[in-house]
Structure 1
Amino acid sequence: MRIVLILLAALPAAALAHVPEPGPAVPSPWAWDLAPWLVALLALSAIGYAVGLWRLWSNAGAGRGVALTQAAAFGVGWLSLAAALVSPLDTWGGLLFSAHMVQHEVLMVVAAPLMVIGRPLATWTWALSPAQRRVVGRWFQARGWSALWGTLTDPLVAWALHALALWGWHIPAAFDAALQHEWLHILQHLSFFGTALFFWWSVLGHDPRGRYGPGHSTAYLFTTMLHTGALGALLSLAPTPWYAPYIPLSSALGFDPAQDQQLGGLVMWVPAGLAYVIAALWVLGRMLTRVRA
């Protein structure tokens, strides 16, 4: 009888020993990222642009200085930026590699070029008072800042910095660290978006010194399409997943980790590559229009 009682007492422990361990806790994929500092920066950029545009058009007339199409481009670019950073796409990006790639491409090939087309620096300047504009103008014309800005917006430098950010952050150790540390994740997105802004600024005709023409811009767009496409192809054709943190998360959601990565690589390879082709055609189209005029 004692033996039977001992065996019965041991049954719960034995049963618990055979219960499979629960999978990783998966946050709600529909959560919005409403970090105060992020919302404040987005709101400040939108309000500054709207006030600057109103003042500019009040003085020069609607559509002067910044065309209606340019203002609309900035608006769509700003909405794309907000969607990438605040909407549930950001949460999905922490769960699926493919969603993370969509987020990155929205930052680099949608939000960045559209906001550059909207002439944000000139418009934001108009949001300041005349005295503040003079101070900012003197600061921008200072030798040190002028040299730094000229270097960062040089097409070759901007191209190289953007390529370095793309390839460097996709090294598995760097990408995994960004997923595990929020400050590195913020730095990753900032480097993608920041270098994309300089790249698009340099290739879309913002060259006051006239050092480069449409041919140079087309070449930089074409080579960017090639190296980003190569990275996308490597991700798409890899038989095993590169980024360990996504393996349990994508599996918990019912996705195959390798297929999730392949889909993410395909996003970088095809749709993003098409964006560079469209931009190159737009640059060449503007050149032909000027020649005919």
Structure 2
Amino acid sequence: MEVNGITWTWQWRWLFTAVILFIALWYGRGWDYGRRHHPKQASRQPILFYAGLLLLLLIAASPLSFLGTQLFAMRVLQRILLVALIPALIMVSDPLAILADGLPQRYRTPLSQLPDTHPRFWAAFYQLTRPALAWFLFLIIFWLGYDPQFHQFTIRHEWLHGLGMALLFLAACFYWWHILAVSPRLHEPMTPIMRIGYTLVGALPVKLVGLILLFTTATIYNYPASIQFKGLTLSDQSVGAMIHWSLGGIIFTWIGFYLIRQWLDDEEQKPYLSPTVWSTEENMLAPGLNEQSR
């Protein structure tokens, strides 16, 4: 494989690194507080959270960040990690509740009383965080990143690329918040079937983009560098399309099957109900017939 046309100007992003380090320390403070007051917390939560932060640092501050401005395939890899693996790792660690525990007491108490002290704000916040809106917002922001004109702007203007990636990450976290049902739980929990379907639907926009790019022969996105494989006619766009199609929906699909297994385990753990309880003549009647028979 040969990579041509790269102008190497990468520098480590120290400000972003400092922000990530601050969040990591903040989370550690909240975890320590929660461990002392809630001993039953899962011990794997910090590992997952810090793994997500490390991957976020990798795609935003390491050479991979610079390569995302030079090669379409690297940009695709960035986006796949940003919408699937990284938010899944971060949100499964229940970050909002633990970060809230990391606040000083003078801020923690007003935050817990917010629904009572600001009911109008809380009602509006409730309406704006519905699952359907989360999916729609994720869909729009994800697809906007592949609009040819907007995409070329992000190649030429680094600040716009950073803004787009930040919005995409926040929209993905918003969506994964509903999938994983972590704190704060503002809405009625979805049934297991609904959660599974809601998760698998998240793979559709990702897979669809990969499918379209796989069958597109024209060059849609013009990047400064290019990839060449000896003996193959694969372009940078083709490699990006294959990454999109193969990796795009794996995390969503894997989480969907994980939720199916979790649902089946919950069903198996339900207490045994003797047939003498549920097979009585009254219980076996169709709904409404027991009222008519009286």
Q: Distance in 2 between matches of 1:292 and 1:118?
A: 25
Unaligned stretches of 5+ residues in structure 1 = 1-22
Report if aligned partners of 2:181, 2:189 keep a CA contact under 8 Å in 1: no
- The verdict on how the C-alpha distance between 1:146 and 1:282 changes in structure 2, with shifts beyond 3 A counting, is farther
The equivalent residue for 1:172 is 148
The equivalent residue for 1:60 is 38
- Of residues 273, 277, 282, the one that matches 2:258 is 282
Deviations 1:133-152, CA, capped at 9 Å, x for gaps: 01222336633443344344
Report if aligned partners of 1:153, 1:199 keep a CA contact under 8 Å in 2: no
The equivalent residue for 2:200 is 222
Shift of 1:229: 0.7
- The verdict on how the C-alpha distance between 1:230 and 1:180 changes in structure 2, with shifts beyond 3 A counting, is same
Report if aligned partners of 1:250, 1:257 keep a CA contact under 8 Å in 2: no
* Residue range with higher mean Cα deviation, 114-123 or 138-147: 138-147
Report if aligned partners of 1:241, 1:257 keep a CA contact under 8 Å in 2: no
Check if 1:100 corresponds to 2:78: no
The equivalent residue for 2:44 is 69
The equivalent residue for 1:27 is 8
- The verdict on how the C-alpha distance between 1:121 and 1:92 changes in structure 2, with shifts beyond 3 A counting, is same
Check if 1:125 corresponds to 2:103: no
Q: Secondary structure at the match of 1:68?
A: coil
The equivalent residue for 1:19 is none
Q: Distance in 2 between matches of 1:131 and 1:112?
A: 29
Q: Secondary structure at the match of 1:52?
A: helix
Shift of 1:200: 0.5
In structure 2, what residue type is equivalent to 1:109?
Answer: A
- The verdict on how the C-alpha distance between 1:95 and 1:150 changes in structure 2, with shifts beyond 3 A counting, is same
For residues 137-216 of structure 1, the aligned pairs below 5 Å read 137-139=112-114, 142-206=118-182, 207-216=185-194
Percent of residue pairs bearing the same amino acid type: 23
The equivalent residue for 1:250 is 225
- The verdict on how the C-alpha distance between 1:140 and 1:169 changes in structure 2, with shifts beyond 3 A counting, is farther
Report if aligned partners of 1:204, 1:283 keep a CA contact under 8 Å in 2: no
Shift of 1:223: 2.1
- The verdict on how the C-alpha distance between 1:171 and 1:288 changes in structure 2, with shifts beyond 3 A counting, is same
The alignment's TM-score, normalised by the length of structure 1, stands at: 0.82
Report if aligned partners of 1:116, 1:200 keep a CA contact under 8 Å in 2: yes
CA RMSD of aligned residues (A): 2.3
Q: Distance in 1 between matches of 2:130 and 2:62?
A: 33
Deviations 1:247-276, CA, capped at 9 Å, x for gaps: xx224x657997111111221211121111
Report if aligned partners of 1:96, 1:250 keep a CA contact under 8 Å in 2: yes
The equivalent residue for 1:7 is none
Check if 1:49 corresponds to 2:30: no
The alignment's TM-score, normalised by the length of structure 2, stands at: 0.81
Structure number with higher helix proportion: 1
Equivalent residue pairs, number: 261
